[in-house]
Amino acid sequence: MMYTVCVRDHFMIAHSFRGDTFGPAQRLHGATYVVDLELRRPDLDADGVVADIGKLGDCLRAVLAELNFRNLDELPEFAGRNTTTEFLAREIFDRIASRIEDGQLGSSTAGLSSMRVALHESHAAWAAYEGPLT
């Protein structure tokens, strides 16, 4: 049994892919992602919540701002990488996890057990990354 809280935001990027697998997406193109960020814990904190939903939304917004309206092909940290939806879900997961470790959600995050980041490309397609929080 697990409690879950989720916040949602979006961001827009441009990028291209390398490899025949991607067909016309090898050319520069844009994408708008709707992002769902879920935190889970087996027990609620002393305030009766999974996490402060306001701080969680702020944290997601700040991470997405680092990528929003950017051409990912031009960012040095992504050099030589295909910035697929799956890859970006993990990247956002890692950036949020780092901020949680730094205390940006407050002091009651010790009970958090896992997180899931889902990027929706459309109403019909999405990818996600899920993992434990330490």
Q: Using pLDDT thresholds of 50, 70 and 90, give the confidence band for residue 134.
A: confident
The mean pLDDT value for 21-41 works out to 97
Mean pLDDT (the chain) is: 96
Return the percentage of the chain with pLDDT > 90, whole number. Answer: 95
Q: Which contiguous run of DSSP H or E holds residue 97?
A: helix 85-101
Segment 82-85 long-range contacts (CB within 8 Å, at least 24 positions apart): 82/17, 82/18, 82/19, 82/22, 83/13, 83/15, 83/17, 84/17, 84/127, 85/31, 85/33, 85/119, 85/121, 85/125, 85/126, 85/127
Q: Which of 34, 48, 35 is nearest to 3 (CA)?
A: 48
In a domain, 24, yes or no: no
For the segment 33-79, what is each residue's pLDDT rounded down to a tens digit? 999 999 999 999 999 999 999 999 999 999 999 999 999 999 999 99
In a domain, 23, yes or no: no
pLDDT at 33: 98
Residue span of the structural domain in which 75 resides? 3-16+29-132
The confidence score (pLDDT) of residue 38 equals 98
Domain assignment of residue 100, yes or no: yes
Number of domains in the chain: 1
Where are the alpha helices (H) located in 9-66, listed in sequence order? 53-65
Q: What is the DSSP pairing of strand 3-15 with strand 70-71? A: parallel
Average pLDDT value for residue range 95-99: 97
Q: Is residue 64 part of a domain?
A: yes
Q: Report d(CA 84, CA 117) in Å as an integer.
A: 14
Q: What is the pLDDT of residue 124?
A: 95
Q: Is residue 74 part of a domain?
A: yes
Residue 101 lies in a domain: yes
User: Does residue 22 fall inside a structural domain?
Assistant: no
pTM to 2 decimals?
0.96
